[in-house]
Amino acid sequence: MVCFRLFPVPGSGLVLVCLVLGAVQSYALELNLTDSGKATCLYAKWQMNFTVRYETTNKTYKTVTISDRGTVTYNGSICGDDQNGPKIAVQFGPGFSWIANFSKAASTYSIDSISFSYNTGDNTTFPDAEDKGIITVDELLAIKIPLNDLFRCNSLSTLEKNDVVQNYWDVLVQAFVQNGTVSTNEFLCDEDKTSTVAPTIHTTVPSPTTTPTPKEKPEAGTYSVNNGNDTCLLATMGLQLNITQDKVASVININPNTTHSTGSCRSHTALLRLNSSTIKYLDFVFAVKNENRFYLKEVNISMYLVNGSVFSIANNNLSYWDAPLGSSYMCNKEQTVSVSGAFQINTFDLRVQPFNVTQGKYSTAEECSADSDLNFLIPVAVGVALGFLIIVVFISYMIGRRKSRTGYQSV
């Protein structure tokens, strides 16, 4: 844990910030804001990270996770007064900032809104970005909390808007602290009230050499993306996720009955996004190559693991599921999409068509090599059987004919 004091905020005392560096890539922050009398007026401790999807100069899409940009400052954080409510303001580099606003009623206080700004002109974070500039995403929350209660939310909370996913967890916050003492009375978020245990996910014993125990074949689900009234993307597949984090290997079967699909279709790219109660997003990004074929170019995932951490991986340099435009890609056999050393996806009964869907139906399928090898063996086996049958008939005919000639000679 690295703790440091910042300069006094006008109208407030010193701000003490502790930056905790954990295994999960995130901002882990603790803030104790004091008034002019050096009494605590606002306390907050939370973890967060941000995932941003943006268009590049060559009309493809990339996804970046903003989790630790170095030095953090808190210019503009205030305890609040009769005209303005309390505010937490965080800056983590030129053009990157985060603000939370609070207000008070007779017996409650509220987390009114959250604002996140990022700078696509930063070439290190957003290489080859098509549009340059500072983009701000505002979210209205209106979370009401009893006065003199400490708000707690250990569960993962996600805000998604305009290609930006904000993840928050392990949140503790109290505005309008009474008498300079943070309350011991806790007000839980709805997610913590309804879930006393983390989601059940199959996990093996930690070991650098142990592989996860195989699970049963996942159920295949059918997903689609619409462009207006027309279906522009179809996908049918059973999905099994293989995740390794901190030497712990997990196997997770996606349940299509509790998984939702969204996405978008463009002339040269198409996106299928899946999400559920534990999966914030699982993106499959398809692209066109050579103007006549499509393929799976990119996979991005952010999900809630059994230990409460957020697992996020992105890879935009893949090459799977290649097929001609105007057709679908099909593979009934098990296939593995290797996104990274820590994340692989096993697919079963796969069929996908991200472009040129007509009347909401799949076009003729191009089969994977595993399926093609099996289909090739069937006619070969039939041919061999027919050939063997012909030989047997021919031999029987020759034997019968020879016996007939022998009989004529006896007469």
Does position 286 have pLDDT exceeding 80, yes or no? Answer: yes
Fold adopted by 221-368: Porin (2.40.160)
Q: What is the CATH number of domain 29-192?
A: 2.40.160.110
DSSP character at residue 257? G
| pLDDT for residue 163 | 86
DSSP character at residue 209? S
Name the more confident of 335 and 10.
335
| pLDDT for residue 68 | 66
Residue 403 in 3-state DSSP? helix
Q: Are 287 and 294 in contact (CB under 8 A)?
A: yes
**How far is the C-alpha of 181 from the C-alpha of 263, rounded, in Å?**
47
| pLDDT for residue 402 | 65
Name the more confident of 326 and 6.
326
Name the more confident of 374 and 17.
374
| Residue 142 main-chain phi, psi, to 5 deg | 55, 45
pTM, two decimals, is 0.48
Cβ-based burial of 135 (10 A; exposed 0-12, middle 13-18, buried ≥19): middle
The most confident of 61-65, 127-131, 159-163, by mean pLDDT: 127-131
The string of pLDDT tens digits covering residues 177-207 is: 999 999 999 999 887 775 433 333 333 333 4
pLDDT above 70 coverage of the chain, percent? 82
Q: Domain residues of the chain, as ranges?
A: 29-192, 221-368
Amino acid at 122: D
- Calculate mean pLDDT across residues 241-267: 90
Same fold, 29-192 and 221-368: yes
| pLDDT for residue 370 | 75
Under the phi-then-psi rule, with left for phi > 0, alpha for psi from -120 to 50, and beta for the rest, what region is 153? beta
Does position 42 have pLDDT exceeding 70, yes or no? Answer: yes
Residues in the chain: 411
Element (H, E) at 370: helix 369-410
- Calculate mean pLDDT across residues 138-149: 93
Does position 73 have pLDDT exceeding 90, yes or no? Answer: no
Under the phi-then-psi rule, with left for phi > 0, alpha for psi from -120 to 50, and beta for the rest, what region is 165? beta
In SS3 terms, 110-170 reads as: EEEEEEEEEECCCCCCCCCECCCCEEEEEEEEEEEEECCCEEEECCCEEEEECCEEEEEEE
